Amino acid sequence: MNLVPFSRREEHLFYLVAGFGAAIVAIGLAAALYMEHSGHVVTGMNNQIVWGMPHVFAIFLIVAASGVLNVASIGSVFGKVLYKKRAPLSGLLCIAMLAGGLAVIMLDLGRADRLIIAMTHFNPTSVFGWNVILYPGMFGIVAVYLWTLMERRMNPWTKPAGFAAFIWRLLLTTGTGSIFGFLVARQAYHAAVLAPMFIIMSFAWGLAVFMIVQRVMYAWNGLTVHQAVRNRMKNLLGVFVAAVFYFVAVYHLTNLYFAKEVAFERFILIDGGIFPVLFWGGWLFLGTILPLLLLYLPGLSSLCGSVATASGLVILGAFCQLYVFIIGGQAFPLGIFPGMETASSFFDGRIDTYSPSWPEFLLGLGGIGIAFTMTAVGVRVLSFMPEDDIAHLEAMLNITD
C-alpha cells in the first residue's frame, strides 16, 4: 500500500481543518442572524432565565482567555524559561478565545446592531461598562505583548508588556466575576468571593486549553511534549484544579452558613433536578476528582493521554460549573418576599425551567469556532511552536527525578 507521507498531506489537511473551523463560525453567524431576525423568541431564554447557553459559552471563553495568558505571565513576569518559550502561543490563544467569547456575547444582545452605542455610551457604575474597556484593552495589550515577544528588536520591552498584560488580565477576570458579584438581589450571586474565584477558575481552564492545544500542535509536527514540560504543567494544572475546588467549597459553605441561603443551596446541591447532577457528577467528579487522579495518581499520571484527558475533563467540568452557576442561579426563584410563599402569572415563587434551543447553542459553538480558526491559522502563518532548550529540560527532569 502506498501511503502519502504526512508532510505532503499536511497542507491539504490544514485547509481541511481551517475549513472546518470556518464552517463552525459560519453556522454560529447564521444562528445569530436567525436570532437577530426573529428575536429571542426562538431561544430558550425568557423573562425568568434571561441569560442562557450563549452566556455559558461566552463566559467560558472570556475567563479561559484570561487564564491561558497565565502561561506567558509565568514566563515573562516570574522569569520561568519553560513558560517563556510558550508565551507567544499563550498570547495567541488569549486573543483567539477573547474574540470568540466577545463575539458570542455581542451577537446575543437584543440589539446587536447597537454595538457602537455600547462603545460610545459609558456608564462608570456598571461592571459591564468597565468590561467594555477591559476587553478591548486586553486585545491591545496582548497584541503589543506578542509584538515584543516575536519582534527581536522589541524583545527588551517584553517584561514590562508582560507585566501590564498580567495586571490587566487580573483586572479583566475580576471584572467578569464582579458582573455576578455585584448583583445585590440574587441569592446565587452578590458574593465578593466570586472575583477571586473567577480568577482561579481562569487559571485552571486556561491551562487546560493550553495543554490540549500544545499537545495537538506537537502531534501535528510529529513531536511529543517533553517529559519535563509535561510534568511541570500537569502539576500546575492539578494545583489550579484543587484551588478551584477550594473556592467553590468556600462559596457554598458560606451560603450554607446563612439561613437565608439554605433553600438556594439545597436546590443547587440536592433537589434542583439537572443542577445537582451537573454539580456533583459533572463538575466535582468528572471535572475535579477524575482530573486530579489522572494528574497525580502514580500509574495513571504516566499513561499516554492522561494529561490531555484530564485537561479535557477540566474543560467539561468548567461548562458544567458555569451552567449550574448561571442557569441554576436564575432558575431558583427570586426572594422578593423572603419567608413568604408567592404565586403569580410571572412565575414568582416557582422554579424555572430552561431548555436551550439550537440557535443559541450553535451561536455559542460559533464562538468556539472563532477561537479554533484564529488559533489554527495563527499557528500556521506565524511561529508559535515552543522551541525548548532540550539540555535545559533534561537537566530539569534529572533534578525532578
Partner 1 sequence: MSNNDRRGFLAASAGLGLVAIAPGVHLMQVAQARPAGEPASKLQRWGMLVDTTKCASGCTACVSACATENGINEQVADPRQAAQWIRKIDIKDPKNGRQHSLPMMCQHCAEPPCVDVCPTGASMKRADGIVLVDRHICIGCRYCMMACPYKARSFVHQPLTQQNPEVPRGLGCVESCTLCVHRVDKGQKPACVEACPEGAMLFGDLEDPNSDIARRIAQTATTQVRADLKLNTGVRYQGI
Residues that bind partner 1 in the complex, under the rule CB under 8 A: 38-41, 46-51, 109-112, 114-115, 117-118, 121-123, 125-129, 131-132, 179, 182-186, 330, 334, 336-348, 352
Is 39 or 156 the residue whose CB approaches partner 1 more closely? 39
The dihedral built from the CA positions of residue 297, 300, 302 and 306, taken in this order, carries a sign that is negative
Q: Give the residue carrying C-alpha cell 473551523.
A: 21
Is 285 or 358 the residue whose CB approaches partner 1 more closely? 358
**Nearest distance, CB of residue 322 and partner 1, angstroms:** 15
45 Cβ contact list (under 8 Å, min separation 6): 51, 52, 354, 360
Start-to-end CA distance of the chain, whole Å, equals 44
**Nearest distance, CB of residue 252 and partner 1, angstroms:** 20
User: What span, in angstroms and rounded, lies between the C-alpha atoms of 58 and 6?
Assistant: 35
Is 67 or 356 the residue whose CB approaches partner 1 more closely? 356
Question: How deeply is 283 buried, as exposed, middle or buried, from its count of CB atoms within 10 A (0-12, 13-18, 19+)?
Answer: buried
**Nearest distance, CB of residue 325 and partner 1, angstroms:** 13
Q: Give the residue carrying C-alpha cell 459559552.
A: 57
**Nearest distance, CB of residue 46 and partner 1, angstroms:** 4
CA 3, 221, 234, 93: dihedral to nearest 10 degrees?
-120
Contact, 74 vs 113, CB < 8 A? Answer: no
Helix (H, G, I), strand (E, B) or coil at 184: coil
Helix (H, G, I), strand (E, B) or coil at 148: helix
Is 132 or 144 the residue whose CB approaches partner 1 more closely? 132
**Nearest distance, CB of residue 42 and partner 1, angstroms:** 9
User: What span, in angstroms and rounded, lies between the C-alpha atoms of 97 and 368?
Assistant: 7
| CB half-sphere exposure, 26, CA atoms < 13 A | 6
User: What number of other Cβ atoms are within 10 A of residue 259's Cβ?
Assistant: 7
Is 131 or 255 the residue whose CB approaches partner 1 more closely? 131
Q: Give the residue carrying C-alpha cell 498580567.
A: 166
Is 2 or 47 the residue whose CB approaches partner 1 more closely? 47
Contact, 202 vs 64, CB < 8 A? Answer: yes
**Nearest distance, CB of residue 362 and partner 1, angstroms:** 18
C-alpha cell at 98: 477573547
**Nearest distance, CB of residue 160 and partner 1, angstroms:** 30
Contact, 195 vs 174, CB < 8 A? Answer: yes
**Nearest distance, CB of residue 112 and partner 1, angstroms:** 8
Helix (H, G, I), strand (E, B) or coil at 124: coil
Is 110 or 281 the residue whose CB approaches partner 1 more closely? 110
202 Cβ contact list (under 8 Å, min separation 6): 63, 64, 66, 67, 70, 169, 173
**Nearest distance, CB of residue 19 and partner 1, angstroms:** 33
**Nearest distance, CB of residue 354 and partner 1, angstroms:** 9
CA 62, 66, 68, 69: dihedral to nearest 10 degrees?
150
Angle ∠(72,77,79) on CA atoms, nearest 5: 90
Is 1 or 184 the residue whose CB approaches partner 1 more closely? 184
Contact, 282 vs 255, CB < 8 A? Answer: no
Is 295 or 326 the residue whose CB approaches partner 1 more closely? 326
**Nearest distance, CB of residue 43 and partner 1, angstroms:** 8
Is 2 or 345 the residue whose CB approaches partner 1 more closely? 345
Contact, 153 vs 47, CB < 8 A? Answer: no
Contact, 93 vs 209, CB < 8 A? Answer: yes
Is 133 or 289 the residue whose CB approaches partner 1 more closely? 133
